[in-house]
Amino acid sequence: MTHIESNPGVMMGKPVIAGTRITVENILERLGAGETVEAIVAEHPRLTREALLAAVEFGAKALRADVIYPITVQAA
């Protein structure tokens, strides 16, 4: 089963967990903010740990593309 899908009619075509409107972007942002896998899965009954980890894997694969993402450092 494929856990990630993209449909122009759902969330403007952003990659989402199949059958939901939960974007890969949202999952990665929440994990980056320190939320746990368990907390995110508990909040979304249709989301499984396996699907969440598939989102992380999708993000990693997307970043393997030959694209440079400049990171700017903001002054404190």
pLDDT tens digits, 15-59: 999 999 999 999 999 999 999 999 999 999 899 999 999 999 999
- pLDDT: is 72 or 14 the higher one? 14
> What is residue 10's predicted lDDT score, i.e. its pLDDT?
95
Structure-block tokens of residue 75:
């002054």
Q: List, as one string, the DSSP characters of 3-72.
A: -EE--TTSGGG--EETTS--BHHHHHHHHHTT--HHHHHHH-TT--HHHHHHHHHHHHHHHTSS-----P
Evaluate whether residue 69 is within a structural domain.
no
CATH code, 18? 1.10.10.10
Residue 1 is predicted with a pLDDT of 54
* Domain extent at residue 36: 4-63
Residue 40 lies in a domain: yes
- Within a domain: residue 35? yes
Question: For the chain, what is the domain count?
Answer: 1
Residue 16 lies in a domain: yes
Q: What is the rounded (10 degree) CA torsion for 45, 19, 14, 31?
A: 20
In a domain, 51, yes or no: yes
